[in-house]
Structure 1
Amino acid sequence: MRKVEVVAYDETWPKLFDTEADEIRHLLGNHCVSIHHIGSTAVQGLAAKPVIDMLAVVDEIETAERFAEELQQLGYKAKGKNGLPGRRYFEKGGNERTHHLHCYENGSPEIFRHLAFRDFLREHPQQAAAYGDLKLSLAKQYPLDIGRYIDGKQAMIQRIEKQATGEI
């Protein structure tokens, strides 16, 4: 069982993203439309699980499947859709995960949702701090239960997403 670990913001996270993103861009070539640092590690000052989330926008979703073996050589394990239609998901680092790679086809509305959430937190530091505090509290409350940790964040995530996408 993996321990739920949330840590203070680490100034090295953007560099870790840049390094990995360069490798993935190089690997995918012109099939990679863009690659973005998403999630909490992409928000300056926000407490987070120390795993870099990346969103690769690809020309077509099958690209992610065609490059699965090459991504595996970079240390990524293919996890398929992993519960989200339209996505191909990869993890790096096994039980000591370091990176998550979320691949979406260019034009997917999920791209906008992820980027809007990140940008909203970047632009609203008080809400980002409240989200970080919630995550720290949940990690202490449920150190061995990732499901309850995730469930505990859902209401705040949904509220922030609605604000970020202009739904409220």
Structure 2
Amino acid sequence: MRNVEVVPYNDQWPKLFLKEAAAIKEIFGDELIDVHHIGSTSVPGLAAKPIIDIMPVVRKIENVDKYNQQIAAIGYEGKGEFGIPGRRYFRKGGENRSHHVHIFQQRDKGVNRHLAFRDFLREHPNIARKYGAKKQELAAQFPSDIEAYRNGKDQLVQEIEQKALAWYQNN
């Protein structure tokens, strides 16, 4: 089992995202529509596991598979859909993960879901603080049980996601 580590926000996270996004843009070229910093490290002030989540949006998801060797060359392990149909997932850093890449095709519902969650937390710092506190509490309670950590925050994540999607559609 991996250790669960939640740390205070680090202002280096956006820079780490930009560096990795540049390498991803170089690999995917014209197939790429955009690259977004998502997840807790993309929300200023939010405590997070120190793993940069990146969401490239591509024209056609099937074409991503053509780039597996190039993305492996910059340190990523490809995991295919990894439980989410229509996504391509890559991770970097082995057991000490530093980055996760979640690739979706344009107009996939996963794109709006991730952007809504991120933007909602950015615009609602009180909710972001509540979420960060829950994550820190769970990391302290389950320091070596990632599944218990995920399960413990699942209900709050779903509540925030529902509010975020409604809010995102109105903005």
TM-score between both structures, scaled by the size of structure 2? 0.96
> What are the within-5 Å matches in structure 2 for residues 90-109 of structure 1?
90-109=90-109
Return 5+ residue gaps in structure 2 as ranges: none
Structure-1 residue corresponding to 2:87: 87
Q: How does 1:17-166 map to 2 (within 5 A)?
A: 17-166=17-166
Instruction: Output the CA distance in 2 between the equivalents of 1:128 and 1:63.
Output: 35
SS of the residue corresponding to residue 95 of structure 2 reads helix
Q: 2:92 is matched by which residue type in structure 1?
A: K
Deviations 1:82-125 (A, max 9, x none): 11111110001111111000000111011000000000000000
1:32 partner letter = L
> How far, CA to CA, are the matches of 1:119 and 1:138 in structure 2?
23
Q: Displaced runs of 4+ in structure 1, greater than 2 A?
A: none
Q: Tell me how far apart the structure 2 counterparts of residues 147 and 32 of structure 1 sit (CA, whole Å).
A: 33
Q: Which runs of 5+ in 1 are unaligned?
A: none
TM-aligned CA deviation for residue 2 of structure 1: 1.4
Aligned to 1:8: 8
Letter in 2 for 1:26: E
> Would you say how many aligned residue pairs link Structure 1 and Structure 2?
167
Counterparts of 2:107 and 2:82 in 1: how far apart (Å)? 20
Q: TM-score, normalised by structure 1?
A: 0.98
State the percentage of identical aligned residues. 50
Give the Cα separation in 1 of the matches to 2:84 and 2:148: 19
